[in-house]
Structure 1
Amino acid sequence: MLKFQNKTILVTGSGTGIGQAITKKFVENGASAIILGRRKEPLEETAEMLEEIIKDKQSNATVKIFAGVDVSDEKAVTGMFDALKSENVNLDVVVNNAGVSGPVTCFVHAPLDDFRSTVDIHLTGTFWTSVQALKVMKKGAKIITISTFFAEERPLEQRPYRFRSPYTASQGAKNRLVEAMSWELLEKGVMSIGTNPGPVHSDRIYKTVYPKAASEFLRVSGFEDLSPSEVEAANNEIVGLLGEDDETIKAGIKSAAEKLGKEETTLTNLLDKVKTIAEKIQKNTSTMIPDQQFLSQEQVATTVLTLADDEQAKILNGKIIPGDRVFYPVKPHIRSSVPKAEKNNLNGKRVLFGGMSPSEQSVSSWYSSITSMIEEKGGQLETSNDFDLAIHITGNLPDFSKLTELSRDEWDKLVDQFINTPAKWTQHALNDFVPGGSDDPRKFKDAKGRIVIIGPALPAGKKISGHERAKVEVFRGLLRPFVTTVNQELSDVLKSNVRVFLILPGTVDGKEPNDENIVNTINYLVSDEAASSSEVIFCPDETR
């Protein structure tokens, strides 16, 4: 009898790539499979392949297709699991795999609709798929979530991924969501495990991510006599030609040159440069791996299959398993208490508060206290777009029992509160500091400005459970990788002195946040010293 015979698995994004490889591995080991995705054709092709395996293995397994299911679509996901429940299907393993590249560009240039869509697919899709899957899962079932090594593998270890801010934010939060769900699903006997594969051989990384990253480097750094907007327009026309035969490339270049009114030789040189940089990115990543080899999709599938083993899952419940083998050079992005500055850096600074309304309960006490102390130090509260310092307060996590019992509307409001709204506010502030910088990155060089996001505090009290902390960490886990990624772009790519900082109040042992610590930290953050440091996340209430 095969290891997963008489078991049923569901893999999101299973029509191609890693999702297809995972499904194939389970079916080879006897499992019945439920496959889903946005496009019907790849799913049908995958189903044919799986049927052949089932026939060869004589496992009596089945394959069921749900086409047109985007994991960010509440109705589609809910309807799929309602259909499975009506058919008395029980799932033994759910694999959260679906994902997209998202915008591959500096955050200031990223369309906010694309930012939100990326978060919806990676994070909300994972959350809602997991919650709805509980309708058809019994004791002993597993939820396995695939994240990435370019994110927040651990809360104190940030791995910024330039040009991928919504992607890194989502991945960091997914890791913390895995941990929170392991607490919440214990009574149901359902286990939650995460894995962070390293770089994996795939069309997405070679044909999309690396070329788009190379294109963005050229938009920022410049190419021949083209303006940044011209570089972007040209790359939108020609980057898709990479990997095609010479005749196709030549015809594509000619068509693009006529459309854009540029010389064919200029576009040919640009495409060659994109290819060179993309290959360099790939090579640089491989040098962080001992054998310099990316994982194969089958290797990732083998990892997931291993995690689905009954005994392994019991041992690893709630854990994030790194599968990347990547020795990533991690800088100290996070700092605890900041010494009280002798110098008052806030005197004369124009300070803009924005984002959430100060009247909202989770913001009001912080807002009143912090604004009063800033004014005492000589700071001037502004309402116009002429300011030195922009502050956004997210507010705290509202009171609720379990994440997995939230409605979709309640979850969406939390995602808006802790990433979409802060991202929108941050981008608007960046545009105010550097007007026109979104389209012309050259304007960011040597520009100055400070943006401070004050995120949710850890829960306070004498007896705080691991579960209570884990719930908050999901949303702190959104903000940490977001801020580290945006700052890497500002400092290393745009050569700017504009900075985005994150303050996370509270302590792991339940002490009440101290507003004076927050203001002392803000006072430090507007100093020149803060701009030159790699530390961008501050936990001012924590002490060694």
Structure 2
Amino acid sequence: MKFQGKTALITGSGTGIGRAIAKKFVENGASVIILGRRREPLEDAAGMLEGIISQKNTGSTVRIFSGVDVSEEKGINDMFAALKNDGIVVDYIINNAGVSGPVTCFANAPLDEFKSTVKIHLTGTFWCSVQGLQVMKEGGKIITISTFFTEERPLEQRPYRFRSPYTASQGAKNRLAEAMSWELVDRGIISIATNPGPVHSDRIYKTVYPKAASEFMRVSGFESLDPEHVDAASKELLPLLGEGEAVVKEGVAKAAEKLGADAGTLASLLEKIQSIAEKVQNNTSHMIANREFLSQEQVAESVLNLCDEEISRILNGKVVPGDRVFYPVKAHIGTATPGVHQPDFGDAVVFTVDAGTMRDAKRVEFLARHVEKNGAKAACFISSNAPPEVQEYISSRFHSHVIDVASPDEVGRWLDTARKNIGQIRAVVHVTGSLTDTRLTGLSRAEWDGLVEKFILTPSMVSQKALEQFVPGGGRDPRLYKDAKGAVMIIGPDLPVGKKITGAQRAQTEVFRGALRPFTTTVNQELSDVLRSRVRIFTILPGTVSGAEPDDKKIADALNFLVSESAASSALVTFCVDESR
């Protein structure tokens, strides 16, 4: 058998795709280590797997680690410590564990759920891979499963409306798989990612599509129900999908009594949600040539093929599309922004600064002077983690405060203060700072968490707090977004600068840029196509692949474009401004 004598560890393997992968490995002679949060599905899966082993008489084994949440450091540490202590060698780590995360417009997405989604998908993948190295040898393989909605082509980025934390973390996972291939080559360990398309699963049919359908209803309201009532009703009604007529009727009656709503209206809402969910599914299938979603077994077969010795050597470091979906996408990524007449900024422009170097401080100075020269009042909120010389440099030149830029409450409070004291906010500009040259797979968990906070969670949180300034109450009532205006710019992280930049150095930075591109594309699709607003979030990614110094004037030009009337009609929302010739 092809994998006789080998051992595969599969995260999230009690159900769904993970279970199918474990089954495929066992059928091909491998021993498996399965893990997850709940014991019952793992024990059920183990019984099935042991039956196959007995039938095939392979001598393979099944080992369970229950209560292991891939996002939690201790559980992963303890699992790999136990495997190492027992002398187990793991040949394949399959990063499969995941959650759907909140299925709602970013403006309404709870920040704690955003964070937990990133923690499970991205940090879980990172930490399981890094800790797994202690039980892997040369020839080992790490296969990371992502999603077709984070596929990137030249100047093209797929959005995934209502799934901003999911698509941000999955995009970063793809780039992480690439970065690990560079960093682990000296150990002889291969890293590959694969992006399956829609897969037949309970998650997609019972969670993602129905929740997306209910979000469409929440955005507009339904009959006599306003958005908040639609949201509350959906939480009661969605579990009824797929149940028999009697169960549905009883459930609707209970929901009506609990919410003080009309049972007929709730029944109509449930019917409408089901209809839209089916339409979303049907529309997606029509983007596939044979109109068929993948089976879990097909995904498992793809994963085992990527574990093949020859195929894995050929594809090391690649993100392998496995979706078959012809998904129409606008060219959301550009280089230089279109030229516009110099605008009069007029109102306040707020800079939130998570900078770590004097180069970052001088960028803030250049941009703040630019907006002040053109009619704005600039306010700078500087991270308390910034070096003292950075804080002093900016504070001595502009109206500034040192704050905890990672605190949603503090950022929101200071934005309120800026609006009250210096006027209506025209734009919020968040400066992430740059990634220091570091080997990602050598980071401690605290160091990794700090990078995720700095380059993914804080920019997204600041963006949401800015949206609350532009459209007060818009999270709860999305109808308020119609025709509203506002501008957010995320700057960074920069590509590394120097004459001899390695592929590994670029790949490290791309992990976090790889989160911001799909995040930006997804949120802008919601803002324009769903909420019908003129609010936009641009991401500016400075630097060049050749290692040239970034030009801050090009960032200033991008800010001019962002606050112009033209920005609202632009499909381009992410700009690599220094790559223009």
TM-score grouping bracket, smaller chain normalisation: over 0.9
Q: Which residue of 2 aligns with 1:410?
A: 447
The equivalent of 1:378 in structure 2 is 375
User: C-alpha distance in 1, partners of 2:359/2:60?
Assistant: 52
The 8 Å contact of residues 151 and 195 in structure 2, kept in 1 or not, is answered as no
2:579 counterpart of 1:542? yes
Aligned runs of 1:149-298 on 2, under 5 Å?
149-154=148-153, 156-298=155-297
Q: CA deviation at 1:366?
A: 1.7
Query: Residue 417 of structure 1 aligns to which amino acid in structure 2?
Result: K
Counterpart of 1:468 (choices 496, 505, 530) is 505
Give, as a single letter, the amino acid of the residue that structure 2 aligns with 1:396.
S
Look up the equivalent residue of 1:378 and give its one-letter code.
Answer: G
Secondary structure of 1:95's counterpart equals strand
Is 1:453 the counterpart of 2:453 in the alignment? no
Instruction: Provide the C-alpha distance between the structure 2 equivalents of 1:487 and 1:179, rounded to a whole number of angstroms.
Output: 27
Q: CA separation of 1:164/1:241 partners in 2, compared to 1, >3 Å: closer, same or farther? A: same
Deviation at 1:155, TM superposition (A): 6.8
Aligned 8 A contact 2:197 2:325 in 1: yes
Q: Deviations over 1:5-33 (max 9, x none)?
A: 10000000000000000000000000000
Q: Which runs of 5+ in 1 are unaligned?
A: none
Q: Which string of whole-angstrom CA distances, capped at 9 and with x for unpartnered residues, describes residues 37-73 of structure 1?
A: 0000000000000000000111000000000000000
Deviates more, 1:146-155 or 1:415-424: 146-155
Paired letter, 1:364: A
Once the two structures are TM-superposed, the CA of residue 373 in structure 1 deviates from its matched residue by 2.2
CA contact (8 A) 2:345 2:426 kept: no
Give the SS at the match of 1:449.
strand
Q: CA–CA distance in 1 between the matches of 2:503 and 2:252?
A: 57
Residue 152 of structure 1 deviates from its aligned partner by 3.7
Change (3 A) 1:491 1:340: closer
CA contact (8 A) 1:37 1:43 kept: yes
Of residues 518, 532, 538, the one that matches 1:495 is: 532
Q: Given the alignment of the two structures, is residue 394 of structure 1 paired with residue 432 of structure 2, yes or no?
A: yes
Q: Deviations over 1:53-101 (max 9, x none)?
A: 0001110000000000000000100110011000000001010000000
TM-score using structure 1 length: 0.98
Give deviations 1:405-433, integer Å, cap 9, x for gaps.
00000000000011110111011100010
Distance 1:339-1:490 versus aligned 2 partners, 3 A rule = closer
- CA–CA distance in 2 between the matches of 1:520 and 1:445? 27
TM-superposed CA distance for 1:257, in Å, is 0.8
Contact 1:392 1:452 in 2 (8 A): yes
Q: 1:155 to 1:362 in 2, by over 3 A?
A: farther
The separation in 1 between residues aligned to 2:221 and 2:337, in whole angstroms, is 39
1:352 maps to amino acid:
V
What displacement does 1:250 show? Answer: 1.1
The question of whether the paired residues in 1 share the 8 Å contact of 2:543 and 2:576 is answered with yes
* Structure 2: distance between partners of 1:309 and 1:362: 46
2: distance between equivalents of 1:3 and 1:180? 28
Equivalent residue, structure 2, for 1:121 = 120
Which position in structure 2 is the counterpart of 1:420?
Answer: 457
1:155 to 1:182, Cα distance in 2 relative to 1, 3 A: farther
Cα offset for 1:154? 4.4
Q: Which of residues 328, 346, 351 in structure 2 aligns to 1:353?
A: 351
CA contact (8 A) 1:355 1:421 kept: no
Counterpart code for 2:3: F
Residue correspondences, number: 540
Rounded to whole Å, the distance in 2 between the matches of 1:22 and 1:155 is 32
Deviations 1:174-193 (A, max 9, x none): 11011100000001000001
Corresponding residue of 1:344 = 342
Output the amino acid matched with 2:346. G
Contact kept? 1:346, 1:526, Cα under 8 Å: no
Match of 1:315 in 2: 314
C-alpha contact 1:6 1:30 (8 A) present in aligned 2: yes
Q: 1:217 Cα deviation (Å)?
A: 0.3
User: Which region of structure 1 is more displaced relative to structure 2, 152-161 or 184-193?
Assistant: 152-161
| Structure 2: segments with no counterpart, 5+ residues | 380-416
CA distance in 2, matches of 1:152, 1:172: 8
Aligned partner of 2:515: which letter? L
Distance in 1 (CA, whole Å) between partners of 2:77 and 2:205 is 33
8 Å CA contact 1:355, 1:425 repeated in 2: no
Q: Deviations over 1:381-412 (max 9, x none)?
A: 14613301111001100232x10000000000
Cα distance change of structure 1 residues 132 and 362 upon mapping to structure 2, 3 Å threshold: farther
Give the deviation of 1:349 after TM superposition: 3.7
Distance 1:449 1:10 in 2: 47
Of 267-276 and 367-376, more deviation after overlay is shown by: 367-376
In 1, distance between residues paired with 2:224 and 2:564? Answer: 37
The equivalent of 2:403 in structure 1 is: none
Structure 1 residues 355 and 426, CA, compared in 2 at 3 Å: closer, same or farther?
A: farther
SS in 2 for 1:530: helix
Q: In structure 2, what residue type is equivalent to 1:168?
A: T
Cα deviation 1:132-161 (Å, max 9, x = unaligned) = 000000010100000000114447431100
Query: Does 1:521 pair with 2:558?
Result: yes
For residues 281-339 of structure 1, what are the alpha-carbon distances to aligned partners after superposition, in whole Å with 9 as ceiling and x for unaligned? Answer: 00010010000000000000000010001111100100111010000101010111235
SS at structure 2 position matched to 1:475: helix
1:504 counterpart residue number: 541
What's the offset of the Cα at 1:495? 0.3
**CA distance in 2 between partners of 1:23 and 1:359 (Å):** 44
Matched AA of 2:315: L
Matched position secondary structure for 1:388: strand
Contact conserved, 2:437 with 2:505, CA < 8 A, in 1? no
Taking the TM superposition and a 5 Å limit, the aligned residue runs for 1:22-61 are: 22-61=21-60
Distance 1:326 1:55 in 2: 39
The alignment partner of 1:288 has SS state of coil
Aligned partner of residue 167 in structure 2, secondary structure = helix
Identity of counterpart residues, as a percentage?
Answer: 62
- Is 1:107 aligned with 2:106? yes
Distance in 2 of aligned mates of 1:349 and 1:543? 30
Question: Do the aligned partners of residues 84 and 482 (structure 1) sit closer, same or farther apart at CA in structure 2, a change above 3 Å counting?
Answer: same
Distance 2:99 2:319 in 1: 21
Alpha-carbon separation, structure 2, partners of 1:500 and 1:152:
20
Matched, 1:367 2:364: yes
| CA shift for structure 1 position 360 | 6.0
Determine the C-alpha separation between the residues in 2 that align with 1:5 and 1:127.
Answer: 27
Contact 1:373 1:519 in 2 (8 A): yes
TM-score normalised by L of structure 2: 0.91
